[in-house]
Amino acid sequence: MIGVLILAHDGLGAALLASATHMLGRAPENVREIGMTSADDPDAILARGRAALRELDTGSGVLVLTDIYGATPCNIASRLLEPGRIEGVSGVSLPMLLRVLTYCGGGLESLVEKARSGGTEGVIHMNSDCCSDAKR
């Protein structure tokens, strides 16, 4: 099973995991989150990330999810990546996380695509994309 590490601004990763647990009816396996604030030392977070990767990588790899591209969690994650073994996707959301947790039994490359599609397909303009008939 592919491991999942969420690196995000404080509280977001924990909230996403709590919501996913509620929606799935069970706690997801092989998932960790590391939240960080502006007071945290990035090198200390990097060390925690490396330790989490050692726990999570059971041979199938790890997908690292971050909240905002270019922000501190993403910058730290970029130092953890190893193509084909540790992949990263930025812009984590609940639809993305649910898709990842549902498909983490496959290959790492396909899980990256599931994460990306979960993120993009989870964005819906409710007035025109899906619910325009609901108003009638």
pLDDT by residue (tens digit) across 65-113? 999 999 999 999 999 999 999 999 999 999 999 999 999 999 999 999 9
pLDDT of residue 127: 85
pLDDT of residue 42: 96
The span from the CA of 51 to the CA of 114, in Å, is 25
Q: CATH says 3-135 is which class?
A: alpha beta
Per-residue CA distances from 121 to 114, 115, 125 (Å): 10, 10, 11
Q: What is the pTM of this model?
A: 0.93
